[in-house]
């Protein structure tokens, strides 16, 4: 029987935050439970996400570079957001293989009823349709509550409309992750009680701003809210792993822990990108490179570490393979099945390059240990600058991308990376991208 799958998806967790990635006590807070988990599976040091929340979620859910899906930028006002119903999600594929599917956390892939989680393959869900910024709105002195309604918390089951559970405020933000893990715990227990395979997707809030710990964790670190929230989340991940042990399903469950993009960059909650430069909403390594831990007892060698290049789209294809599902063949799927790599059957991931989009603009190409920037933007607040001459960085020598070495000796790198971009452009010519804001029903042109 295919294994259960638990997917913990942090929101803006920097590469350098966890102890197993050089953080932990360095950041003023140990992360013992997650660090111990590292020894039970594989730790990747070159997992790449997209530069923003929605594109990363889109990539994981569909296995397609988000430019294809129209999920790279906010559409015009009143146009629908998120994935058109024609897109196939990993929840749909696993559901067709007999999995019970649950979503507990932030969706951010469409707020219209036909684009909510229970319309996209999840049997049940709880959480937020948009993002956590909105929890701050009511705290602003001049918030125009009569003009802009507060975001809501929601829950729903497949076959019925989702139900609003009330406003999402700063106070509710403190309880968001507790509820994610509590709902996940109940979901897992119900499935385990009837020996039902499950896919539990946990796109939690931490550490997206405002990074506010649950009241039970306030003050526990002695280093403020940000560190307190780390204690909370490490504890909650540990409790989740304990539940799998208690129910005797750990050996039959794949657990993935990763983040949707790089470190939180809003003061006073600014995170840490470790050795990498830049911030999210850019093509810098600090935006794209994230922690990634995965445990699959009996299949992944405990204590494994790899710097092979992987990407968010590969998770769709990999989870489909684990669950015994076939990926769609009527559209381009950019993801690579990582199962042979993760289990040690092959030494390489199968990926040499990542196309680095910010919104729908190609800012850079990452090829092997090289990064070539065509549009330069180091931090979210910086204006993007189109370069007349590309900038190139050897990431082994220059992880913070400070010293451009394109000229005079390394112009060859552009030619080496070019086939990956040309192949993508050719596929767009054959299968045109879906425009942001495209309504349903959508069908690609014949």
Annotated active-site positions, please?
Answer: 53, 108
**Residues 72 and 433 sit within 8 Å (Cβ to Cβ):** no
What distance in Å separates the CA atoms of residue 222 and residue 245, rounded to the nearest whole number?
A: 31
Contact status, residue 59 vs residue 50, Cβ threshold 8 Å: yes
Tell me the three-class secondary structure of the chain, residue by residue. CCCEEEEEEECCCCCCCCHHHCCHHHHCCCCHHHHHHHCCCEEEEEEECCCCHHHHHHHHHHCCCHHHHCCCCCCCCCCCCCCCCCCCCHHHHHHHCCCEEEEEEECCCCCCHHHCHHHCCCCEEEEECCCHHHHHHHHCCCCCCCCCCCCEEEEEECCCCCEEEEECCHHHHHHHHHHHHHHHHHHHHHHHHCCCCEEEEECCCCCCCCCCCCHHHCCCCCCCHHHHHHHHHHHHHHHHHHHHHHCCCHHHEEEEEEECCCCCCCCCCCCCCCCCCCCCCCCCHHHHEEEEEEECCCCCCCCEEECCCEEHHHHHHHHHHHCCCCCCCCCCCCCCCCHHHHCCCCCCCCCCEEEEEECCEEEEEEECCEEEEEEECCCCCCCCEEEEEEEEEECCCCCCCCCCCCCCCCCHHHHHHHHHHHHHHHHHHHCCCCCCCCCCCCCCCC
Task: Assess contact for 233 and 180: CB atoms under 8 A.
Answer: no
The encoded tokens of residue 259 equal 């983040």
CA separation (Å) from 221 to 91, 181, 193, 210, 444? 37, 21, 37, 18, 53
Phi then psi for residue 359, to 5 deg, are: 55, -130
Residues in the chain: 446
CB contact set of 241 (below 8 Å; sequence gap of 6+): 33, 37, 250, 255
């Amino acid at each position: 029987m295919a294994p259960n799958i638990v997917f913990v998806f942090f929101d803006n967790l920097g590469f350098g935050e966890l102890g197993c990635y050089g953080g932990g006590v360095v950041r003023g807070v140990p992360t013992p439970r997650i660090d111990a988990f590292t020894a039970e599976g594989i730790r990747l040091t070159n997992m790449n996400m997209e530069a923003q929340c929605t594109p990363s979620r889109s990539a994981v859910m569909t296995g397609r570079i988000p430019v294809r899906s129209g999920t790279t930028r906010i559409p015009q006002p009143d146009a629908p957001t998120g994935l058109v119903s024609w897109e196939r999600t990993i929840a749909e594929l696993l559901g067709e293989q007999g999995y019970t599917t649950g979503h507990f956390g932030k969706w951010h892939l469409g707020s219209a009823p036909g684009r909510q989680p229970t319309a996209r393959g999840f049997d049940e869900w709880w959480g937020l349709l948009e993002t956590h910024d909105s929890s701050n709105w009511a705290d602003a002195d001049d918030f125009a509550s009569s003009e802009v309604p507060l975001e809501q918390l929601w829950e729903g089951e497949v076959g019925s409309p989702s139900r609003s559970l009330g406003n999402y405020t700063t106070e509710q933000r403190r309880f968001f992750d507790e509820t994610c893990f509590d709902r996940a715990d109940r979901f897992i227990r119900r499935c385990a009680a009837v020996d039902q395979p499950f896919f539990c997707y946990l796109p939690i809030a931490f550490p997206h701003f405002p990074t506010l710990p649950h009241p039970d964790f306030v003050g526990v670190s002695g280093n403020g809210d940000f560190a307190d929230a780390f204690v909370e989340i490490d504890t909650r991940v540990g409790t989740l792993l304990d539940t799998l042990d208690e129910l005797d399903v750990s050996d039959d469950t794949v657990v993935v822990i990763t983040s949707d993009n790089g470190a939180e960059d809003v003061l006073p909650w600014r995170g840490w990108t470790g050795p990498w430069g830049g911030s999210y909403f850019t093509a810098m390594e600090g935006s794209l490179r994230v922690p990634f831990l995965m445990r699959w007892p009996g299949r992944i060698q405990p204590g494994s570490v790899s710097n092979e290049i992987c990407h968010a789209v590969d998770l769709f294809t990999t989870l489909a393979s684990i669950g015994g599902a076939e990926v769609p063949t009527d559209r381009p799927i950019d993801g690579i099945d990582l199962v042979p790599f993760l289990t040690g059957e092959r030494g390489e991931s199968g990926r040499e390059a990542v196309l680095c989009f910010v919104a729908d603009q190609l800012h850079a190409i990452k090829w092997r240990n090289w990064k070539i920037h065509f549009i330069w933007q180091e931090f979210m607040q910086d204006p993007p600058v189109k370069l007349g001459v590309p900038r190139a960085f050897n990431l082994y020598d220059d992880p913070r991308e400070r010293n451009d070495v394109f000229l005079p000796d390394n112009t060859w790198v552009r030619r080496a990376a070019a086939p990956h971009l040309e192949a993508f452009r050719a596929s767009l010519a054959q299968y045109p991208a879906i425009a942001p804001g495209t309504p349903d029903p959508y069908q690609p042109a014949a």
